[in-house]
């Protein structure tokens, strides 16, 4: 078992767990992910690594309960454990493979939306530890959904926060902040955007106007996480890629966004039915007279 050392609620819908997994911590890099399963019959859930401590042998994961498996995660407490915790999987962020000269030439902008704040954090932290600066935009629908503000402020050169409803700091979506920064004379030549699919699509449409190369994470369409199920099949330029083994990060300008966004809908009906059965327990399909 992989023991849960810390459990914390970060926002109205997001939770953090620090897990004892020394082998994963020893080898992981920013941008990679793990597959976690709570029990034998549990679903395999791919989660991007939010942070790691090689000396302590720990991995930090952040998740939003959506389906049955992630809702079951909420029943686990400190001292409990996951049955499976496999990784590191996927390719590291491209910043890890850049030379010092290339890193020094970059003017980094990171754009985080919702739970995407979690995988953005280790990349910005890695840059800070290696002596490089990055500006960061964090966006959420409302203040109650924001998290990691202080953690990100500690590693970013400049942190910009925006909420769709204007309940905290700036009012507007993340793309409006990009527009304002460029209008104010800010220059960037490397953007990383991680968050909901629709957010990443519109960030790419915005950065393309300003000729800012943009990397996105296609973690949202991963299911199996090992390349065997084919659920995360992507058209990237003229090539077919799989997010879990070829990514999860890709050139956002080359993604076929219409195709990718359709894939996010493929399993929603099945997942919704399973979640309803989990929540209703023994009363599921009972007494309504309408079930076959």
Domains along the chain? 2-89 (2.40.30.10), 99-217 (3.40.50.80), 221-281 (no CATH)
| Tokens of residue 98, six digits | 């850049």
Q: What is the average per-residue pLDDT within 140-164?
A: 94
In this predicted structure, what is the pLDDT of residue 152?
95
Q: Is 158 left (phi over 0), alpha (psi -120 to 50) or beta?
A: beta
Q: Is the pLDDT of residue 164 over 70?
A: yes
Compute CA distances 241 → 15, 142, 254, 259, whole Å: 30, 34, 11, 13
Largest CA distance in the chain: 69
How far is Cα of residue 274 from the mean position of the Cα atoms in its chain? 23
Tell me the pLDDT of the chain averaged across its residues: 87
User: Any residues with CB less than 8 A from the CB of 26 and at least 6 apart, and which?
Assistant: 54, 57
Mean pLDDT of 50-59: 95
Give the pLDDT of residue 282: 54
Residue 120 has pLDDT above 80, yes or no: yes
Range of weakest confidence among 22-26, 78-82, 240-244: 240-244
**111-115, 131-135, 216-220: which has the minimum mean pLDDT?**
216-220
| The pLDDT of residue 276 is above 90 | no
Alpha helices in 41-90 (DSSP H): 68-73
pLDDT of residue 225: 67
pLDDT in tens, 217-270: 988 777 766 667 677 788 889 888 888 788 789 999 999 888 888 877 765 555
Q: What pLDDT does residue 275 have?
A: 46
């Amino acid at each position: 078992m992989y023991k849960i050392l810390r459990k914390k609620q970060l926002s109205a819908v997001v939770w953090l767990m620090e897990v004892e997994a020394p082998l994963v911590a020893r080898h992981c890099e920013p941008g990679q992910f793990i597959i976690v399963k709570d029990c034998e019959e549990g679903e395999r859930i791919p989660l991007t690594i939010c942070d790691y401590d090689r000396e302590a042998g720990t991995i930090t994961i952040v998740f939003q309960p959506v389906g049955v498996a992630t809702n079951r995660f909420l029943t686990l407490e400190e001292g409990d454990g996951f049955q499976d915790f496999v990784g590191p999987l996927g390719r590291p962020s491209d910043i890890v493979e850049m030379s010092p000269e290339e890193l020094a030439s970059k003017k980094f902008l990171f754009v985080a939306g919702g739970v995407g704040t979690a995988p953005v954090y280790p990349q910005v932290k890695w840059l800070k530890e290696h002596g490089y600066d990055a500006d960061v935009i964090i966006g959420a629908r409302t203040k109650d959904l924001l998290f990691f503000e202080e953690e990100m402020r500690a590693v970013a050169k400049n942190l910009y926060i925006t909420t769709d409803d204007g309940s905290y700091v700036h009012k507007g979506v993340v793309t409006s902040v990009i527009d304002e920064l460029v209008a104010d004379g800010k220059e960037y030549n490397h953007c990383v955007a991680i968050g909901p699919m629709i957010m990443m699509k519109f960030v790419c449409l915005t950065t393309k106007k300003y000729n800012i190369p943009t990397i996105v994470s296609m973690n949202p369409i991963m299911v199996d996480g090992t390349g065997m199920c084919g659920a995360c099949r992507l058209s990237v330029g003229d090539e077919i890629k799989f997010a879990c083994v070829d990514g999860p990060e890709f050139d956002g300008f080359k993604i076929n966004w219409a195709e990718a966004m359709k894939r996010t809908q493929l399993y929603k009906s099945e997942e919704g039915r399973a979640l309803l059965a989990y929540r209703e327990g023994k009363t599921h399909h009972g007494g309504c007279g309408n079930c076959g």
